[in-house]
């Protein structure tokens, strides 16, 4: 407690060396929601935990795929999102729309669990400016454990990541991009950190009104692929 009665709330320093002072809004979120944060940078804009039957997100599926809220397995609470696809181009997806974000570094975090290595995740952001669309996406191709980022040259490999394929093994993925420099910043997945700050975000022309999309998609490039995702979190001020 400081002189005058004010209080500063602070986390202990984490394994990445962060020693953050919390604002009241951030403290409220953390005390009213499950303390499942794995990587704690950024201020929370949206938190999708699938506990409410009333969505603040949009689900999409195409042909041989489906996506739905489920109570069979989850990381926290009682519900998660079940995604299924059997086709390399038929996606199951979740999209979160957002207009009230600070133009700077933004982050997308979610947890995922799968019992097969047939799947392919594509996750990240699309920012619309009314003259352009900016595509900052990561592709995780599970048959070969390959990670790639989407650049003006297409998808570029940044390495590999292996994890235990089990529906009860929820792993965290978090992508951070810089909307000012128009570059990627970093990617956390499981227990690995990837510095991807050398890569540019792909841009193309678009007249869509300004907003930010946060997207997670599942495909089945090598056969039937199931997964569960939980606690999808969008941040800014990273």
Which domains does the chain carry? Answer: 1-32 (no CATH), 39-236 (2.60.120.260)
Per residue in 131-164, pLDDT (tens digit) is 999 999 999 999 999 999 999 999 999 999 998 9
pLDDT at 36 over 80: no
Locus of tokens 């989407």:
150
SS3 114: coil
- What distance in Å separates the CA atoms of residue 108 and residue 232, rounded to the nearest whole number? 7
What are 50-55's contacts with CB under 8 Å, separation 24+? 50/74, 50/77, 50/79, 50/80, 50/81, 50/230, 51/77, 51/78, 51/79
Compute the distance between CA of residue 162 and CA of residue 190 in angstroms, rounded to an integer: 9
Instruction: Kindly tell me the sign of the dihedral angle through the C-alpha atoms of 14, 37, 124, 127.
Output: negative
Which residue has 């919390």 as its token pair?
Answer: 22
> Residue 232 — very low, low, confident or very high, per pLDDT cuts 50/70/90?
very high
Question: CA-to-CA distance for 155 and 137, rounded, in angstroms?
Answer: 9
Residue 86 DSSP SS3: coil
- Residue scoring higher pLDDT (24 or 218): 218
**Residues whose CB is less than 8 angstroms from the CB of residue 37 and which lie 6 or more positions away in sequence, other chains included:** 30
The whole-number pLDDT of residue 2 equals 47
What span, in angstroms and rounded, lies between the C-alpha atoms of 81 and 70?
6
Prediction pTM value: 0.85
- The confidence score (pLDDT) of residue 43 equals 85
Residue 219: pLDDT band with limits 50, 70, 90: very high
Burial degree of 70 (CB within 10 A; 0-12, 13-18, 19+): middle
Q: How far is residue 224 from each of residues 46, 94, 117, 144, 156, measured CA to CA in Å?
A: 30, 19, 9, 16, 25
In 3D space, the residue among 60, 23, 20, 64 whose CA is nearest the CA of residue 40 turns out to be: 20
Output the six-digit token pair for 51.
Answer: 């506990």
User: What is the per-residue pLDDT for 41?
Assistant: 81
For the chain, the straight-line distance linking the first and the last C-alpha, in angstroms and rounded, comes to 27
63: left (phi over 0), alpha (psi -120 to 50) or beta: left
pLDDT tens digits for range 50-95: 999 999 999 999 988 999 999 999 998 899 999 999 999 999 999 9
> How do strand 92-98 and strand 132-141 relate by DSSP bridges?
unpaired
């Amino acid at each position: 407690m400081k002189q005058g009665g004010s209080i500063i709330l602070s986390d202990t320093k984490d394994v990445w060396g962060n020693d953050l002072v919390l604002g009241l809004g951030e403290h409220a979120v953390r005390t009213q929601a499950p303390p499942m944060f794995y990587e704690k940078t950024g201020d929370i804009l949206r938190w999708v935990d699938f506990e409410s039957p009333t969505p603040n997100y949009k689900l999409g599926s195409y042909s041989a795929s489906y996506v739905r809220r489920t109570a069979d397995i989850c990381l926290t609470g009682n519900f998660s999102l079940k995604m299924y696809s059997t086709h390399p181009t038929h996606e199951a997806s979740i999209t979160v729309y957002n207009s009230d974000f600070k133009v700077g570094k933004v982050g997308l975090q979610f947890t995922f669990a799968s019992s097969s290595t047939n799947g392919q995740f594509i996750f990240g952001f699309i920012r619309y400016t009314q003259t352009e669309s900016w595509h900052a996406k990561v592709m995780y191709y599970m048959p070969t454990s390959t990670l790639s980022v989407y650049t003006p040259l297409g998808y570029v490999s940044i390495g590999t990541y292996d994890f235990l394929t089990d529906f009860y093994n929820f792993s965290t993925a978090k992508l951070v991009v810089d909307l000012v420099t128009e570059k990627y910043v970093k990617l956390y997945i499981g227990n690995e950190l990837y510095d991807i700050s050398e890569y540019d975000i792909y841009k193309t022309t678009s007249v869509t009104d300004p907003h930010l999309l946060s997207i997670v998609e599942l495909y089945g490039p090598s056969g039937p692929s199931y997964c569960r995702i939980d606690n999808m979190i969008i941040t800014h001020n990273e």
